[in-house]
Chains A and B, each alone.
Chain A
Amino acid sequence: MRILLVEDEKKLSELVARALRQESYAVDVADDGTRGWELAETYDYDLIVLDLMLPGIPGEELLRRVRRRNQQVPILILTARDATQEKVSNFEAGADDYLTKPFAFAELVMRVKALLRRGPVARASVLRVADLELDRLTQQVRRAGKRIELTPKEYALLEYLASSPGRVFSRTMIIEHVWDQSFEGLTNIVDVYVRHLRAKVDDPFPLKLIRTVRGVGYGLGAAPDA
Chain B
Amino acid sequence: MNARSLSFRLVAWYAGVLTAVFVLLGLLTFFFLRHYLEANLLDNQTRRARQIAGTLVAHVRRDSEASMASEVESLYSPQINDRFIRISRADGQVVYASGAPRDEAFDPARVAPLAGDFFQSSTRKVSLPGGVLLIAAVPATGSDGTLYRVEVGTSGAQAEDTLAQVLLMLAVGLPVAVAVAIAGGFVLVRRALEPVERMALKAEEITQHSLSERLPVVESGDELERLSVSLNHMIARLEDAIRGSKQFVADASHELRTPLTVMRGELESLVQNGRLERDVREALGSVLEEVGRLGEIVESLFALSRLDAGETSGGWQRLDLAELAATTAGQMSLLATDKEISLSCDSAAAVTVEGDRARLKQVIVNLLDNAIKYTPRGGHIALSVRREGAWAVLEVTDDGIGIPPDALPHVFKRFFRADSSRSREPGGAGLGLSIVKSICQAHGAEVEVRSAAGKGSTFRVRHPLATEAARS
Q: List the 5 closest A-B pairs by CB distance, nearest first.
A: A215-B288, A214-B285, A215-B285, A226-B274, A101-B257
The yes or no answer to B81 lying at the interface (CB within 8 A) is no
Pair B361/A189 contact, Cβ less than 8 Å? no
Q: Write 16 A-B pairs (CB below 8 A) sorted by A numbering.
A: A80-B258, A84-B311, A85-B311, A102-B298, A103-B261, A185-B296, A187-B426, A215-B271, A215-B286, A215-B287, A215-B288, A215-B291, A216-B272, A223-B274, A225-B272, A226-B274
Question: Nearest residue in B to A185 (C-beta to C-beta)?
Answer: B296
The yes or no answer to B265 lying at the interface (CB within 8 A) is yes
Pair A102/B257 contact, Cβ less than 8 Å? yes
Rounded to whole Å, the gap between the CB of B279 and the closest CB of chain A is 11
Rounded to whole Å, the gap between the CB of B8 and the closest CB of chain A is 52
Further 7 A-B residue pairs, CB within 8 A, beyond A216-B271, A216-B288: A83-B306, A102-B260, A105-B268, A180-B358, A185-B300, A192-B338, A213-B285
Q: What B residues does A193 contact at CB under 8 A? A: 334
What is the size, in residues, of chain A's interface with B at 8 Å between Cβ atoms?
A: 45
User: Measured between alpha carbons, how far is A168 from B269 in the docked complex, in Å?
Assistant: 11
Pair B257/A80 contact, Cβ less than 8 Å? yes
Of B264, B288, B361, most buried by chain A (CB within 10 Å of CB) is B264
Q: What B residues does A226 contact at CB under 8 A? A: 272, 274
The yes or no answer to B282 lying at the interface (CB within 8 A) is yes
The yes or no answer to B292 lying at the interface (CB within 8 A) is yes
Q: What A residues does B254 contact at CB under 8 A? A: 80-81
Over the window 255-282 of chain B, the binary record of Cβ atoms lying under 8 Å from chain A Cβ atoms (1 yes, 0 no) is: 1011011101111110111100000011
Q: What A residues does B261 contact at CB under 8 A? A: 12, 101-103
Rounded to whole Å, the gap between the CB of A9 and the closest CB of chain B is 5
Rounded to whole Å, the gap between the CB of B361 and the closest CB of chain A is 4
Pair B331/A183 contact, Cβ less than 8 Å? yes
Q: What B residues does A101 contact at CB under 8 A? A: 257-258, 260-261
The yes or no answer to A15 lying at the interface (CB within 8 A) is yes
Of A80, A184, A223, the residue contacting B272 (CB under 8 A) is A223
Rounded to whole Å, the gap between the CB of A22 and the closest CB of chain B is 9
The yes or no answer to A208 lying at the interface (CB within 8 A) is no
- CB within 8 Å of A: which B207-222 residues: none
A-B contact number at CB 8 A: 122
Rounded to whole Å, the gap between the CB of A167 and the closest CB of chain B is 10
Of B291, B332, B427, the residue contacting A185 (CB under 8 A) is B427
User: Measured between alpha carbons, how far is A215 from B338 in the docked complex, in Å?
Assistant: 22
The yes or no answer to A11 lying at the interface (CB within 8 A) is yes
Given A192-B334, A214-B286, check contact A12 B272 (CB 8 Å). Answer: no
Of A11, A16, A104, A215, most buried by chain B (CB within 10 Å of CB) is A215
The yes or no answer to B116 lying at the interface (CB within 8 A) is no
Q: What B residues does A153 contact at CB under 8 A? A: 331, 334
Q: What A residues does B300 contact at CB under 8 A? A: 185
Pair B314/A84 contact, Cβ less than 8 Å? yes
Q: What A residues does B69 contact at CB under 8 A? A: none
The yes or no answer to B88 lying at the interface (CB within 8 A) is no
Over the window 176-194 of chain A, the binary record of Cβ atoms lying under 8 Å from chain B Cβ atoms (1 yes, 0 no) is: 0001111111111100110
User: Measured between alpha carbons, how far is A195 from B334 in the docked complex, in Å?
Assistant: 11
User: Measured between alpha carbons, how far is A4 from B295 in the docked complex, in Å?
Assistant: 27
User: Measured between alpha carbons, how far is A214 from B287 in the docked complex, in Å?
Assistant: 9
The yes or no answer to B362 lying at the interface (CB within 8 A) is yes
The yes or no answer to A150 lying at the interface (CB within 8 A) is no
Q: What A residues does B335 contact at CB under 8 A? A: 188-189, 192
Of B258, B286, B359, B365, the residue contacting A9 (CB under 8 A) is B258
Q: What A residues does B358 contact at CB under 8 A? A: 180-182
- CB within 8 Å of B: which A91-107 residues: 100-106
Pair B426/A186 contact, Cβ less than 8 Å? no
Of B257, B268, B425, most buried by chain A (CB within 10 Å of CB) is B268
Q: What A residues does B314 contact at CB under 8 A? A: 84
User: Measured between alpha carbons, how far is A213 from B268 in the docked complex, in Å?
Assistant: 9
Question: Nearest residue in B to A184 (C-beta to C-beta)?
Answer: B299
- CB within 8 Å of B: which A131-185 residues: 153, 168, 171, 179-185
Given A11-B262, A185-B300, A192-B335, check contact A213 B365 (CB 8 Å). Answer: no
Q: What A residues does B260 contact at CB under 8 A? A: 101-102
Pair A15/B299 contact, Cβ less than 8 Å? no
Pair B361/A182 contact, Cβ less than 8 Å? yes
Q: What A residues does B268 contact at CB under 8 A? A: 104-106, 168, 215-216
Pair B265/A215 contact, Cβ less than 8 Å? no
Q: What B residues does A102 contact at CB under 8 A? A: 257-258, 260-261, 264, 295, 298
Given A9-B258, A186-B369, check contact A214 B427 (CB 8 Å). Answer: no
Question: Nearest residue in A to B300 (C-beta to C-beta)?
Answer: A185
